[in-house]
Amino acid sequence: MEANPKLEPGAAIIYERSNDVVYGRYRDPPHNTKPRWIVGGSPSAVAQEKGMYLDYREWLDLCELSESHPTLKCHLEKLIDIYTLVKEQT
């Protein structure tokens, strides 16, 4: 799914909402064969549609929650260690 396509001047766009994600797609030929794209929606639904595990607000909530839950904090620290190692290798 294309993130930010160049819009075709004068082409009519249809907006659709599905699972709290708003999509745009062209109504008329020849552009109506192009895939729909994400226009907006709730941050968590858009993040999920893009294949992300959490949106930014949920990530902040996770970090805050880890401060009062030692098990979560331990696993989050391990995850960040793994992320750092993988990032350095690429």
For residues 78-84, give the mean pLDDT. Answer: 96
For residues 9-31, give the mean pLDDT. Answer: 96
Q: Is the pTM of this model over 0.85?
A: no
Question: How many Å apart are CA 7 and CA 34, to the nearest integer?
Answer: 11
* Contact residues for 55 (Cβ-Cβ < 8 A; gap 6+): 43, 44, 46, 47
Where do the domains of the chain lie? 1-52, 53-90
* Mean pLDDT score of the chain: 93
- Give me the pLDDT at residue 5, please: 61
Is residue 2 pLDDT above 60, yes or no? no
Q: Which residue type sits at 53?
A: Y
Token code pair at residue 50: 């893009």
Task: State pLDDT tens for residues 30-61.
Answer: 999 999 999 999 999 999 999 999 999 999 99
